[in-house]
Amino acid sequence: MRAAPLSLRLLPLLGLAAACAGGEPSAKGSGGAPEDSAADTGTMPVDPLAWPLDADGPYNVGHATIEVRYTTPLGADRTIPVQVFYPTTATTGAEVRYDALFLDPRALGGAAAAPPVEAAGYPLLVHSHGHFGVAGAVDFWAARLVSQGWVVAAVEHVGNRFQDGFPSFDLPSPTAHYIERPADMSASLDALLAGAAPLAGSVDPERVATSGHSRGAYTVWATAGATFDPAAIAAGCAGETDAFELRTCTPEEEAVFLSGALADPRFRASILLDGGIRRELVGAEGHRSATTPLLALTQVNEGSQQQFDSIDQLDFSWVPVEGSCHETFNLGVEAATLQPCATMEVDRGWQITATYSFAFLRHHLMGDTSTATMGVLSGDVVVDAAAAVQHKGP
């Protein structure tokens, strides 16, 4: 069947409440082929730019979890799960939960992937979750992309996931974490380009973007090429600032930050979801080295205004959303209260996030210069009365 209404995505709160009370919600998992999974015929229209920005396309959302093993820039062996969402014409699949709690009623676990719409392969978005975040939460808005032929890969930053911090979320992150985050993104892209199931090597290497929520915005700035400031890193490693929670780093860690190894030029566009530049790491000018166009969707507050004001020499679009909360652009549930955002209806926030993000990606990765797409990006087309567009650069 087609996806359940978006409002049903709040049902995971019932499972979370049970867990907090000592219950254990059941989960079938994902990634295996369910017995009733429909075969995929791959017969679909061939012009993805003909599908509207503000509505779903013809595909359903398939889901699988892959395991990525790699060696970090620090020489450590690391294994991370990556949740992959892909287009499918199947109508049934296994139940999909994130962190064994949050149910995604739309995703079809183990469904067969539809072939790419275009011969070059699937365009790809690689996503970085927030501090102790839920990786699969990206699907709550990015299903728009998948329904129109994209692949979305949600990287699980092991050690900094919801399940790693629950229930206190007060563990400090080791300094290596700030190296592992961008390295996780590059390793995940490596795996998908190399032919990791279920996509069989069909990702288009020329159309790859990133997105990141909250601390995930740091990840995105790093992969986009923002450079780390030597004086800021030295001060952080010496414990003179709170750049790193442990207020220390090893000489090897300091060298990696300054090496440029965390940037990945294969990522061609970057989306920042209510997260800012870490000036205590990149200094006043490190952001200028970013090589991709950037789109920031944020709450309306002093911090987001200061970020926009400080930006120069970049192709940077900012969409402040009146009435939004931090989780408007993510799971839709505030971690502090385990309740939906009190100031904006959840589905409305996902619609805003999906429409601006998709317009940005279609323009920069698919060459879409249609009146509708350019109108959204310029602000001439009103997506929602709560959202506005400001732009710097080309």
Contact by Cβ (8 Å): 256, 262 = yes
Contact by Cβ (8 Å): 154, 133 = no
Confidence band for 44, pLDDT divided at 50, 70 and 90? low
Whether the predicted pLDDT of 127 surpasses 70:
yes
pLDDT number for residue 334? 75
Contact by Cβ (8 Å): 75, 50 = no
DSSP-assigned letter for residue 114 = P
pLDDT number for residue 14? 34
- Stretch among 162-171, 178-187, 324-333, 335-344 having the lowest mean pLDDT: 335-344
* Helices and strands, counts by H and E, the chain: 11, 14
Of the CA atoms within 13 Å of residue 158, those in its CB half-sphere come to 15
46-73 mean pLDDT:
95
* pTM (global) more than 0.85: yes
**Residue 99, both tokens:** 């962190």
CA 314 to chain centre: 21
Residue 11 CB neighbour total at 10 angstroms: 13
Share of the chain above pLDDT 90, in %: 80
More confident residue, 210 or 26: 210
pLDDT number for residue 238? 97
322-346 mean pLDDT:
89
Share of the chain above pLDDT 70, in %: 88
Domains of the chain, start order: 8-392 (3.40.50.1820)
- Stretch among 36-50, 95-109, 216-230 having the lowest mean pLDDT: 36-50
**Residue whose pair of structure tokens reads 């060298």 in the numeric block:** 255
More confident residue, 69 or 102: 69
Going from the C-alpha of 300 to that of each of 95, 319, 324, the distances in angstroms are 36, 9, 8
pLDDT number for residue 336? 63
Contact by Cβ (8 Å): 293, 270 = yes
CA-to-CA distance for 7 and 323, rounded, in angstroms? 19
More confident residue, 322 or 39: 322
DSSP-assigned letter for residue 48 = G
pLDDT number for residue 102? 87
pLDDT 10s digits, 288-321: 999 999 999 999 999 999 999 999 989 999 999 9
Strands (E), the chain: 60-71, 77-88, 97-98, 102-103, 108-109, 122-128, 151-155, 203-213, 269-273, 294-299, 316-321, 333-334, 339-340, 390-392
CA-to-CA distance for 380 and 388, rounded, in angstroms? 10
CA-to-CA distance for 109 and 123, rounded, in angstroms? 21
Q: What is the mean pLDDT of the chain?
A: 89
Report which of 273, 324, 317 is spatially closest to residue 294, judged by C-alpha positions.
317
Report which of 148, 157, 127, 150 is spatially closest to residue 217, judged by C-alpha positions.
127
pLDDT 10s digits, 198-238: 887 799 999 999 999 999 999 999 999 999 999 999 999 99
| Bond prior to 198 in cis (omega within 30° of 0) | yes
- Please state whether 369 falls in left (phi above 0), alpha (psi between -120 and 50) or beta: alpha
pLDDT number for residue 115? 94
The amino acid occupying position 224 is A
79-83 mean pLDDT:
98
